[in-house]
Amino acid sequence: MRNVGIILFLFENYFILILTASHYEEKLIRTLLNEANYSKKVRPSSVVIIDFRLVFNQIINMIEKEQIMVSNVFVDQKWIDSRLMWNRSEYDNLTLLRIPASMLWYPDTFLYNTADNTGYLIPQESQNMVINNDGLVVWPMPLAHLRTRCRMGIRHFPFDEQSCEMLPDYAPNNEWKLLAVKQTIREQEFANWIEKDPFYEINFTVLIRRKPLQAIYNTVVPALMLTILTLVSFFIPFAQEMQIGKVIFDTQFVG
């Protein structure tokens, strides 16, 4: 019975600690997101510096006919929102919060050369953002599936290289080898835009090279074998020619 009493006592204390932490967290969220002090429709009054990080994860496909690169990437954005600062000593040393992204302001980030109808990077409905007591907001976007425009030239196929604008966690592709990912930042101004502040364009250039053996095995070798079989069929008797013709037809149909 003594052991049972100790277990119940520890469980009750643990339960009280959870309730206490939850109480301070709920109180802090109500204070920070009070409509009198905060609105997600209004950006911070001071200049917001965005820390933008893109991790190229995997090339899914290169659609040469449509000039499109399909890839998976991780995107992280961080910024300081002075409206979301608090003194942690007043909230039981609480240093961070996880709040649904739908309740917070976040910057408009647009994928300029998208191949889809919309290029805005927006959080998912169930996604949370992490807020530190110094006002640092972290938006860790999960794996994003991007379709971007990429001008391709296949003049040197299957030994071609492509440079697409749009690594440690990169997953290799059987057909394409990743050579480099370069990043540049350019300032853009639009004369007809309402606001006078400039826009900043972050340009990621992905340099890839086709693996020739993959293309040779999948394209050149089958085509060469079919050509040889077709030429051989002209030098054999008619009955055997019909059989070889059937083999060639079946091979093309399966391919």
Domain that holds residue 231: 216-254
- Of 104, 137, 152, the position where a domain reaches its end is 152
Q: Is residue 175 part of a domain?
A: no
Mean pLDDT of 180-209: 67
59 and 143 housed in the same domain: yes
Q: What CA–CA distance (Å, rounded) separates 182 from 166?
A: 10
- Asked if the structure places residue 191 within a domain, the reply is no
Is 127 a residue whose pLDDT tops 70?
A: yes
What per-residue confidence (pLDDT) applies to 11?
41
56-75 mean pLDDT = 78
pLDDT at 42: 84
Predicted confidence band of residue 173 (pLDDT cuts 50, 70, 90)? low
Whether 55 and 144 map to the same domain: the answer is yes
123 has a pLDDT exceeding 80: no
- What does the pLDDT average to over 235-246? 62
Q: Are residues 227 and 135 in the same domain?
A: no
Establish if 4 belongs to a structural domain.
Answer: no
Q: Lowest-confidence range among 1-10, 72-81, 239-248?
A: 1-10
Residues 55 and 148 in one domain: yes
pLDDT above 70: residue 48: yes
Whether 189 is covered by a domain: the verdict is no
DSSP conformational letter for 217: I
pLDDT, residue 132, reads 92
From 126, 152, 178, the end of a domain falls on: 152
DSSP for 126-164, written as a single string: T-EEEEETTSEEEEEEEEEEEEEE-----TTTTS-EEEE
Beta strand 176-188 pairing with 199-210: antiparallel
How large a percentage of the chain has pLDDT more than 70?
A: 59
Residue 194 DSSP code: S
133 and 60 within one domain = yes
pTM of the model: 0.55
Last residue of a domain, one of 152, 177, 202: 152
pLDDT computed for residue 164 by the predictor: 61
pLDDT for the residue 19 = 45
pLDDT tens-digit readout, 1-34: 444 444 433 444 444 444 455 778 888 888 888 8
Q: What are phi and psi of 78, to 5 degrees?
A: -135, 145
Does 83 score more than 50 pLDDT?
A: yes
Residue-averaged pLDDT of the chain: 72
**Which residues 6+ apart lie within 8 Å of 100 measured at CB?**
126, 127, 128, 129
**60 and 145 share a domain?**
yes
Residue 142 lies in a domain: yes
Q: Is there a single domain that holds both residue 133 and residue 58? A: yes
The CATH number of the domain holding residue 84 is 2.70.170.10
What average pLDDT does this structure show over 36-51? 83
Whether the predicted pLDDT of 49 surpasses 80: yes
In a domain, 222, yes or no: yes
The total number of structural domains that make up the chain: 2
Q: Does residue 105 lie within any of the structural domains?
A: yes
Give a yes or no: residue 128 inside a domain: yes
